[in-house]
Structure 1
Amino acid sequence: MKNRIVTAIDVGTTKICTIIAEVNPVGGVNVVGVGIGPSQGLHKGLVVNINDARESIRESIRKAEQASGYKVESAYVGVTGRHVASMNNRGVVAITRNDRLVRSDDLKRVMATAQNISVPNDRKLLHVIPRTYAVDGQSGVKNPVGMHGFRLDVETHIITAAATSVQNLVKCIRGLGIDIDDLVLEPIASSEAVLTEDEKQVGVILADIGGGTTDICIFKDGSIWHTAIIPVAGYQLTRDVAIGLGLPFDVAEEMKKRYGSVLPVYETKMESPSPICEDGHGVSYQDLCDIIRARVEEVLRLIMLEIPNSDYDSLVPAGLVLTGGSSNLAGMETLGRDILRIPVRVGNPDKVYGIVDSLHDPAYATGVGLLIWGAKHQPVKKSWLDNIGFFGRMRNLLKGFAGLFGSN
């Protein structure tokens, strides 16, 4: 068997990251091209200017194609934004064959009943993920195929997204002549890159603190338990620094990246450190760090508010795994442990090989995770995407012609 080519496009608020990889027959992911560029036309994970966003994506793809020598024809794409919502739902079917043996067709039937929920016209199903199965009341079954029983239950995690928000993103990518293999919620993608199977089993929170949103996933017993998107992240940190210290936004962003720390700054009045300077602007190191620390404390508390159960020790013994560009701030692990009183670590994506020097950074967890998702799953063509954009309409038109000629 030859290697399969998989492309991931992480359309972020501050950067666009396109990664092209070869996936070998046993699932190994070898990165052959990376294209990273600044993001235009997006705000808090949402497209606000289609033309600007499309050109940013085009430039990122061009760089990845140039590095790899491959042409991008289709891609796995990350989705985020406060419009995303999730719920858990159950499905049940009877096993009516004489041998009472659960087969893969029964899994499809029970999943279909679980996703048979009322979805408003302005929302679309993004994921229906099986969490756990039960056969004749025996719960905790991960794969019931081959088991005997009269009744099959499934508990699923269902994620929906605002149709218009997703359609705008899809239109940008389809407008470049690139098809979409699947749309993947970004924290689910990030979890593929930075969480271990042990953490998912015992219980863990993943928080991807990006530029525009903080994306949250909770895992328990090896499966997804809860997802949420908080519209507070790195952009708000920088804005607070810019307003609090009277700096241009770009200067505040550079100071945050270069000097920012969330650890307390201890100093005496006699020995105040000299001010830090960037582009002719000078500010107090203590003031900079105090502002960043206050906002990060708020983000950490917002993350924990997403957990319905206040007994963190029993629900998530593995604690909190931080990833995303903002988790690069010095002292994040220490501050997290001090405030939340649970284990905290920063997750770096390290499950791929090849030209990955630039990707060993929490900022690229979503992009690497999309690749790993693509390596594990076959492309899923969501039927409702077919109507979006010029390429979708052309596809439907050609199908119509085929149907006309085929009937004669």
Structure 2
Amino acid sequence: MKAMVYQAPYRVDVQEKDIPRIEHPNDAIVRVTRAAICGSDLHLFHGMMPDTRVGTTFGHEFIGIVEQIGSSVQNLQVGDRVMVPFNIACGSCWFCARGLPSNCHNVNPNATAVGGIYGYSHTCGGYDGGQAEYVRVPFADVGPSVIPDWLDEEDALMLTDALPTGYFGAQLGDITEGDTVVVFGAGPIGLFAAKSAWLMGAGRVIVVDRVEERLAKAREFAHAETMNFGHHRDVVVALKKATDHLGADVAIDAVGAEADGNRLQHFTATKLKVQGGSPIALNWAIDSVRKGGTIGVVGAYGPMFSLVKFGDAMNKGLTLRMNQCPVKRQWPRLLEHIRAGHIVPRDVITHRFALDDIAEGYHVFSDKLDGCIKPVIVPSGI
């Protein structure tokens, strides 16, 4: 099969790899019909995640058709169209039993924190991902779900990570009616977080970014106010002025490890790699939210030390909530919203690339060229 293969930071290509095989009775082999490049894939592409090995296939957002199932699989049949959450989870450990599949204890030998994630380095279990023609899906009775007949396939693709993660970010903010919510980052997850904030009763939503095309999308798609931090000497002061000098009730960090803004922190995180990421967006969230406010963090950070302003958070009495999204837990409610027309997830997609052109897709997305917000990968012959 053809598959995207990691070569080195900023270098990926397409190579021939063996089609994956059934390794366990509860495995399924899925022929990929759509995949996506996620903003967190760029952390891998830029060399930000530890133990990203040469030869790895990225891709934790994908849908496809079941080609083969193991002998113990009961919930799927060959030929089913399925969407696959990015979490790999056993469904039965202490954490899975408590609704935390993203923290599954049985799928990652390095599971001191995160569970298993498709195509996201050996730090997250070493599983190959879906930016390929085929992918092995472990615990096939736990993760994948059959795509409803009425659901558009690209809406289903957005349900494998981006939409649930944005929705989860708003959930973590514990939004109450009338709250002012500030979202840091106008990528797909930030856009979905902003849109979800309205569904949870927000009275005002402000999205912060520096890319004008993304801010325009935030106004069009999420009906949010926007703020370009590049136009302000101090974005925290600007946000305080915009919120009666009190601060927002809720802040959502939808940026993570490669936040830009403070050159020193960005350099120590992305160049020297002495931090688990550049915590600029998180520190802005801590500074700009009101005393007693809440911060939801869904931006991805590496498992290393970061210079977070924890003392300020403590003295302001803030509530910080964070995790990798438990994707499948969000699906019932999100499917209701999609069917009712409250949200059209595929509207954030801006580019489509053939699998053979995935290196160009990474280049365009990484450098934010041509207004790229969300790229989708279409395997050969689809």
The structure richer in helix per residue is 1
Structure label with greater radius of gyration:
1
Q: TM-score, normalised by structure 2?
A: 0.32
The structure richer in strand per residue is 1
